[in-house]
Amino acid sequence: MRNESEREDKKLQVLNGLDLKRIITVAAQVLDDAKEEVNALNVFPVPDGDTGTNMALTLKSAIRDLDNLDTENISKVAATIARGSLMGARGNSGVILSQYFRGFSDGLANLQTANGPQLARAFDLAAKTTYKAVMKPVEGTMLTVGRAVAEACMKAVEKEDLSPEEVWRIGIEAGAAALNNTPNILPVLKEAGVVDAGGKGLLLALEGAYKALIGEIDLTAEKPAETVGPVQEGITRIAGVLKNKYCTEFLIKGSNLNADQIRQAIESKGDSVLVVGDEQVVKVHIHTDHPGQVLEYCGQLGDLTEIAIDNMKLQNEMITDDKLQQNNNVVSFPLNKVNQTATHNGETKPIGIVAVVPGDGLSEIFTSLGVDYVIHGGQTMNPSTEEIVHAVEQINAEAVIILPNNKNVIFSAQQAKDLCAKRVEVVATRTIPQGIAAMVGFAEHLSLDENLAAMEQELENVRSGEITFAVRSTKAGEIDIEEQDYIGLAEGKIVTAGRSLTAVGLELLDNLVDEDSSLISIYVGDNQDMQAAEEFKALVEEKFDFCEVELYHGGQPLYFYIMSVE
């Protein structure tokens, strides 16, 4: 903390590149610390609200390339932030945030430093760019918060000459008011009793930057941890088949936690087991072949956070590759999967396909349908734009079709399209069943345009249902939901909830099946055992006896069943 007089002296009349670098780095740290708080603002009570995670990761990527950039030129720093966030954009909120930085950077173009009015203009262009980026802007969201910041700043600098600090303060005050007002604009927020998550994330970042600007928070020496950590010494020595290949780390937050008991319970699942902590927080580290089972068990004891699962076998392979070792900036996505049979004959295919898919079973299904590259992710982990670009580049094909398979990934996929050299098309699949239907409609011998038309056509013939559980009590329309209830979503909307998975499942299907339906497919999640799923299937066959019913292991996290009706 600096004292008052020092602060007065240092009150900035202009903002330069080094200032921007410093405050945005703090903003990234602040947002990362608060991401769970933002995640909790999900309007749906589903267990995978990840707006905070997506925005924090996007911002982390925004500052990635600032390390080696020490320039006073603010336009260069802003451009670097914009490019970094664009590549790292995850989820819709991340994409919008990246567009915010793009506009911010455009507003500072060609400037060495920025004074108050110039900063206000940057905020203004930032907000305008986000509105242009979405096809149907919705008020009561991050867009509204950004616009309120911009309007307040522009109005303020019209009247008097203000310093960057003053502009920034006026902006975040207006942003905070706009955020608090979001429930009055968007009824879903009011119903859920929350403010908009994306708006909250944006405000947290702007507030964090402001606190750094006025010296309230200093830049710590500690850098945000990388997703893929350095490979430990011991691992490179392991030759051949690596047992317990997933390095799994996470925190359990709860009450009455007992580290010893947890250690005993998971010891048999792998090696290098480390369980430490107190009654409220326990850190778990284990090398295992069954990270899902470990998470499943520990999830029953409390809330899991900071989950990181790395495939050490693939890291090992990568680290022994000299070329990769020389390049510190190499991006790796260890859980993703290239379809070897599809791409390894060395020929350039006319059309390659990238799909974003959660779960081992679903990944295999997509691969068997001819997908060339499976990006591990989806509802619980939105891949970044960069990850999608990387996937597209891995495929030896003239053109690539991307199947996002999630409404929150479509935006990043479309952004990736503009960053790739080859022709890239996005078939906007919003669910896993739509993605599978699109793949069934794909035929290798047809042209790209014929395939796109056929795949789009297939989307109309399939209905999607999902079953997960409520993380808090709430009301969705007419449906009262208790915490831990099973909830059934038809085409993304909650249509049923209750204490019985079977009853919720059958009720959900009632919403999806009609007299023209002939096939029900059930993909079983990693939180549901196959025996119980077989019993559920028998009930479905009995109730909908005019339909064929197929059951597959999907392995997706958090969703007991993903179902399709066609």
Q: Which spans of this chain sit near another protein (rule: CB under 8 A)?
A: 364-365, 368-369, 436-437, 440, 443-444, 518-519, 521, 548, 550, 552, 566
Residue 256 Rama label (left phi>0; alpha psi -120 to 50; beta): left
In whole angstroms, how close is the CB of 479 to another protein at the nearest point?
31
**SS3 assignment, position 436:** helix
Give the number of residues written for the chain.
566
DSSP state of 518: -
In whole angstroms, how close is the CB of 565 to another protein at the nearest point?
11
Handedness of CA 232, 238, 240, 246 (dihedral sign): negative
Sheet holding 337-338, edge to edge: 337-338, 373-376, 349-357, 397-403, 423-426
Beta carbon nearer to another protein, 250 or 442: 442
Residue matched to tokens 């035929």: 443
In whole angstroms, how close is the CB of 277 to another protein at the nearest point?
41
Beta carbon nearer to another protein, 108 or 438: 438
Beta carbon nearer to another protein, 319 or 446: 446
Residue 545 Rama label (left phi>0; alpha psi -120 to 50; beta): alpha
Residue matched to tokens 């989806």: 378
Beta carbon nearer to another protein, 266 or 365: 365
In whole angstroms, how close is the CB of 445 to another protein at the nearest point?
8
Closest CA to 356 of 96, 91, 566: 91
In whole angstroms, how close is the CB of 387 to another protein at the nearest point?
25
Nearest-angstrom CA–CA distance, 438 and 293: 32
In whole angstroms, how close is the CB of 516 to another protein at the nearest point?
9
In whole angstroms, how close is the CB of 462 to another protein at the nearest point?
9
Nearest-angstrom CA–CA distance, 347 and 341: 12
Beta carbon nearer to another protein, 387 or 566: 566
Structure tokens that stand for 319 in this block = 């680290």
Beta carbon nearer to another protein, 180 or 447: 447
Query: Residues 55, 383: contact at Cβ < 8 Å?
Result: no
Beta carbon nearer to another protein, 332 or 517: 517
In whole angstroms, how close is the CB of 44 to another protein at the nearest point?
29
Query: Residues 495, 503: contact at Cβ < 8 Å?
Result: no
Beta carbon nearer to another protein, 58 or 521: 521
Q: How far is CA 437 from the centre of its chain?
A: 24
